[in-house]
Chains A and B, each alone.
Chain A
Amino acid sequence: MAEETPKPEELARVDLKPPKSDWMDPTVEFRKGTWNYTAVPDTQKYLDLPAAPKWAPTDDDWPLPENWQEIILTGMKERLDKYRSFRIFMDICVRCGACADKCHFFIGSGDPKNMPVLRAELLRSVYRHDFTTAGKILGKLAGGRKLTVGVLKEWFYYFFQCTECRRCSVFCPYGIDTAEITMFARELLSLIGLGIEWICTPLSNCFRTGNHLGIQPHGFKDSIEFAVDELEEITGIRVDAPINKKGAEILFVAPSADYFASPHYYTLLGYLALFHEIGLDYTWSTYASEGGNFGLFHSHEMIKRLNAKIYAEAKRLGVKWILGGECGHMWRVMHQYMDTMNGPADFLEVPKSPITGTVFENAASTKMTHICEFTADLLKNEKIKLDPSRNDHWISTFHDSCNPSRALGLLEEPRYCIKRACNNFYEMPENTIREQTFCCGSGAGLGTDENMEMRLRGGLPRANAVKYVHEKHDVNVLLCICAIDKATLPPLLEYWVPGVEVAGVHEMVGNALIMEGATKRTTDLRGQPLKGMEDTEDV
């Protein structure tokens, strides 16, 4: 963490009462710790996207094309005609303010332009100025603002301070979804080459190598094999982890962080153990080695360009259906976009668990099932045996990741898995879970070190709810089903509520899983001694 990051007491001094001043004159201060580095032009060029020459938001002059306003306004017109959501959300907001204090960035920063309504107004004011009769004639009187460089800078600052978590949309009486508005704003910015590195680099990596981290096929294989070795050390069982295997029944797709980052890695061990134990006929893919899709944080077209490889690979390998790992925004894409964009997947079959025979009718068209749905079904049918006491050193709570909760409604499946795998589970306060869950504060491509202050601010509501159960029930692990969560919650909790770890649901399942022929477990998947086994650990 950067040295200049303020202390928690200082950072938490937030005033949620905006000043009396007017917001319409664009002002934005690019303070260190609150913005992300800009895209490396080569990554945009690799994707045939417009690229601004190397620049920084703190520069006075931004490298804009001469006709940048025309490009953006034309882009707006095109999107207004193509997306009813955009037009409706520009037109019907009554500014009732119900959304105002629902945004984690507003709660953590007190910056009025982080109220969802004002964030949207940044774009809406330009819409009124250029696309409504009243605005064209009356200008500022009708709430219109001319698209100036100042306005553009505000867009860049504030639309990369939205994690597209959709919490505001739950509370809006019209369901106005700031995630939609942010997506359009980012698309418009990308039309003139303005983007951030943490989005554009993963995009180009993913396009080329199949995953955001840019891991090449042999690196992928090494990672998986390393995990197989590790699992063997813990369980005494050497599992099979097929890669690019034609004719497998199921293609398994997980976020790339699962096989390259920690604590995701322990979730990967959980998957491997589970698939072995039930004898699943599945395969990994190096070409489709990314479940996540940073296209969602860039533009609709990039979603489609990256997502295309999932069905393409399923077809090439000749699998029957697709199983997906623990990842939040990945599941928004798989659930709400994939079939529409790259379907129909008529070469696949409706997912059917080969172990229980359950047909996943809810995935009849998309042909892709969430691992929590899959595992919950296994557990319900008693097809695997768990020993929850192996998780007794954990006192857990569950963080509903934004997209699985507000774009799918996957609420009970992970809870069912957790309650079967853990003896100690406590919910956080009700205004902070399920559809009202708070974002980690680092989603939608904002999880960078240079943006740390803003991440800590945005993550305050989540961390504060964790603190509540940490103090009340001694909770020491925050479970989640999102790769961005697993990457960004650890520093957040270390800052706000030290002493709480972050783990995936399938890490808990893997810990508790009773495997046939396994040696007696003395440690969990992290290599930590199990409760009551502290002495058996050979030091």
Chain B
Amino acid sequence: MKALFSLVAVVILILLAWFGSGSSGGAYLFGVILPYAAITLFVLGVVYRVLKWARSPVPFRIPTSCGQQKSLPWIKNSNLDNPHSLVGVVARMALEVLCFRSLFRNTKAEVKDGPRLVYGSDKFLWLGALAFHWSFLIILLRHYRFFTEPVPGFIMGIESLDGLMQIGVPPLLITNIAVTGALLYLWARRFTNPQVRIISLIADHFPLVLLLGVVTSGVCMRYFFKVDLPAVKQLAMGLISLNPVVPAGIGSIFFIHLFLVSVLLAYFPASKLMHMAGIFLSPTRNLANSNRRVRHINPWNYPVKVHTYEEYEDEFRDVMKAAGLPVEKE
């Protein structure tokens, strides 16, 4: 149901762009106005969300320690999994953000007869996630060639590396295969894995279908429905130089692609996709486990009602004296 809903929503979006971009006014709407609106929403939205997170303080230092603490000098500290210093924290975060280290630990629990519990290694989620995110990043970088003239060498380098397999014309890109495969896998497990199926919301299906739409339309444009690339570049350069023009005859497939990207950008700040920024602010990962060494300050620490020793002794003085325990007041 939730998957179908997401699929229908994306199909409607595609149809909107297909039919909407037909006229010259429509082309301007889908080629200029909506992309500008989307990027504005994206930037403002992300900034708003991050500021909102940042406004809530971190009252306690609560890292999850996943390795040996730094204590006695002869015991080896695991600075990556249980960082005691800023360097360790940066390294831990870098591994988390770039390599999905926590996800790499993933196991699959099974209860067998006996009972016997087994925990098998399960790296598919890690692999799928890594393949998607890295491919997507590289694809994003590749797109930079539409926004700059001349195209910088490193972008050309990425692209030729990406086409290393040298199959077909234009060459088949590794990232195109990887990103499509990864998205299909990530979506498929939301149906086939019963644990993941039950937790999945529309908010989980929709971004995957939308991304599949973006990727598919992009791939189609590259290999099947050729678009007028110089015209696309003219549009892109116009957008980035704030001097937008919409050359005629680009082809609907381009507007479908651009519109889906615009929706993705606009949807981003309101969605779970914000994990991209949120991971940097997660207090169980971005703090050093230096709790007993360096005092952490809670900005809203307030006095609470306590039971003082004086009150305690007042209540128990007689029994304390009878038991021969020292007291403050005789």
Same assembly: yes
Interface set of A (CB-CB < 8 Å, partner B): 8-9, 12, 14, 16-23, 48, 80-89, 91-98, 100-102, 107, 112, 115, 117-118, 121, 132-134, 141-143, 166, 169-177, 180, 207-210, 216-218, 221-222, 243-246, 286-287, 300-301, 304-305, 308-309, 312-313, 316, 334-337, 339-341, 343-344, 358, 360-366, 368, 373, 376-377, 380, 405-413, 416, 429, 431-432, 434-436, 460-461, 464-465
Q: Which chain A residues lie closer than 8 Å to B85 at the CB level?
A: none
B203 at the interface (CB under 8 A from A): yes
- 7 closest A-B pairs by beta carbon, nearest first, are A409-B69, A12-B115, A92-B278, A409-B65, A175-B284, A218-B323, A366-B292
Bound-state Cα–Cα, A337 to B297, Å = 10
Q: Given known contacts A94-B204, A132-B270, A175-B285, what 6 new A-B pairs fall within 8 Å (CB)?
A: A18-B194, A112-B195, A207-B307, A216-B316, A340-B295, A366-B292
Q: Which chain B residues lie closer than 8 Å to A143 at the CB level?
A: 201-203
Give the A-B contact count at a CB cut-off of 8 A: 320
Q: How far is the CB of B319 from chain A (nearest CB, A)?
A: 5
Would you list 23 pairs from A and B whose C-beta atoms are within 8 A, ordered by A residue?
A: A19-B198, A84-B56, A91-B49, A92-B274, A92-B282, A96-B196, A101-B108, A102-B107, A102-B109, A143-B202, A169-B64, A171-B103, A177-B64, A216-B316, A309-B307, A334-B292, A358-B72, A409-B67, A411-B68, A412-B68, A413-B72, A460-B115, A461-B117
**CB-based nearest A residue for B96:** A173
Q: Which chain B residues lie closer than 8 Å to A339 at the CB level?
A: 291-292, 295-296
Q: Which chain A residues lie closer than 8 Å to B203 at the CB level?
A: 142-143
B53 at the interface (CB under 8 A from A): yes
B167 at the interface (CB under 8 A from A): no
B325 at the interface (CB under 8 A from A): yes
Q: How far is the CB of A185 from chain B (nearest CB, A)?
A: 16
Contact yes or no, A361 B293, CB < 8 A = yes
Q: How far is the CB of A453 from chain B (nearest CB, A)?
A: 15
Contact for A98 among B103, B200, B308, CB less than 8 A? B103
Contact yes or no, B304 A84, CB < 8 A = no
Contact yes or no, B117 A83, CB < 8 A = no
Contact yes or no, B72 A115, CB < 8 A = no
Interface residue count on the B side (C-beta < 8 Å): 98
Q: Which chain A residues lie closer than 8 Å to B301 at the CB level?
A: 340-341
Contact status of A409 and B289, CB under 8 A, knowing A85-B62, A217-B325: yes
Contact yes or no, B195 A84, CB < 8 A = no
Q: How far is the CB of A345 from chain B (nearest CB, A)?
A: 9
In B185-228, the 8 Å CB interface with A consists of 189, 193-204
Determine which residue in B193, B202, B284, B293 has the highest number of CB atoms from chain A within 10 A of its CB, and name it. B284
Contact status of A218 and B67, CB under 8 A, knowing A86-B56, A88-B281: no
B184 at the interface (CB under 8 A from A): no
Q: Which chain B residues lie closer than 8 Å to A175 at the CB level?
A: 64, 96, 102, 282-285
Contact status of A406 and B195, CB under 8 A, knowing A176-B282, A216-B316, A460-B117: no
Contact for B325 among A174, A244, A309, A344, CB less than 8 A? A244
Contact yes or no, B64 A174, CB < 8 A = no
Bound-state Cα–Cα, A287 to B109, Å = 45
Q: Which chain B residues lie closer than 8 Å to A361 at the CB level?
A: 293
Contact status of A174 and B283, CB under 8 A, knowing A91-B53, A115-B195: no
B100 at the interface (CB under 8 A from A): yes
B298 at the interface (CB under 8 A from A): yes
Q: Which chain A residues lie closer than 8 Å to B108 at the CB level?
A: 101
Bound-state Cα–Cα, A410 to B59, Å = 23
Contact for B52 among A87, A97, A406, CB less than 8 A? A87
Contact for B198 among A23, A210, A243, A362, CB less than 8 A? A23
